[in-house]
Amino acid sequence: MSMLTPPGLKGKQYRITGTAYPRLSRPHRRRRHVLLALVGVLTLAVLGWGTVQLFGVFGPKKAGATAGCKRSVTANAGDAAHPSATPSAGASAASAATSALPAAVSAGGVPKPSAITVNVYNATNRSGLAGQTAALLKQRGFLIGKIGNAPAALQNKLAASAQVTGGSTSGALMTVLGSEVAGAKPVVDARKDASVDLVLGNGFTALSTPAQAAQALAQATTPTPAPSSANHC
């Protein structure tokens, strides 16, 4: 088979030489490959993000998150029980309740010293101890009854710091008076009145400071909270 060469041109000038032939490909195939690669990467990223979200929802919870949920449930329960309560209203109610208390009772329901009549007795050989202690108790607001020596059965036989004696219905009065002397021992007798005896023993050195007495009274009158069942979210 012969090739036609245009007139005036030599065929050798347009002869193809070499062992490789140029391969022609459609230009849009490369774009298609790039797009497929991008789609694959995006698909993997979406699947990975979804896996992380599912693990966060159904995976194990941390202790801090559970505790926070318990606190939130407790707060919501209080709000539901008192939907109309506000801080200002609560403060007003507390103030009104405190002003309505009897003059002989403190805000915590504990008798005030001004409602307690104390008989002070000295069971030691130290002269004037009962009078000095009674004067200090009077400065702290207590009413003072009798002052003198303790009965013969207690003279030089009370090793403790003091003994607080009262009737069966005077438990709160004895608690308030007992907080004034560290180590005081309560004793209940058959008296019918509301008086309380403070018998000073050989272990007595001085009354507690007002701060120490207030702390001892708070510890003696604060109820122990009952254990509550655990809440689960």
CA 109 to chain centre: 23
d(CA 202, CA 108): 33
Q: Side by side, which strands form the sheet with 143-149?
A: 143-149, 117-122, 196-200, 162-166, 185-188
At 123-142, the pLDDT tens digits run 999 999 999 999 999 999 99
pLDDT of residue 29: 67
Q: Would you say residue 76 has pLDDT above 50?
A: no
At 91-103, the pLDDT tens digits run 444 444 444 444 6
Q: Would you say residue 1 has pLDDT above 60?
A: no
Q: Would you say residue 74 has pLDDT above 70?
A: no
Length in residues, the chain:
233
**Three-state SS at 103:** coil
d(CA 197, CA 150): 10
β partners of residue 188: 166
pLDDT of residue 56: 65
On whether the CB atoms of residues 117 and 143 are closer than 8 A, the answer is: yes
d(CA 229, CA 233): 13
Nearest Cα residue to 204 out of 190, 185, 219, 228: 185
**Three-state SS at 62:** coil
d(CA 172, CA 162): 17
d(CA 200, CA 131): 11
pLDDT of residue 78: 42
Nearest Cα residue to 208 out of 147, 116, 123, 136: 136
pLDDT of residue 50: 66
Q: Looking at residues 75-102, what average pLDDT do you find?
A: 42
pLDDT of residue 185: 96
Q: Would you say residue 150 has pLDDT above 60?
A: yes
Question: Which stretch of DSSP H or E encloses residue 80?
Answer: helix 63-81
Nearest Cα residue to 113 out of 72, 156, 84, 142: 142
CA 97 to chain centre: 25
Q: Would you say residue 85 has pLDDT above 50?
A: no
d(CA 138, CA 198): 13
| pTM assigned to the model | 0.54
pLDDT of residue 96: 43
pLDDT of residue 10: 55
Q: Would you say residue 61 has pLDDT above 70?
A: no
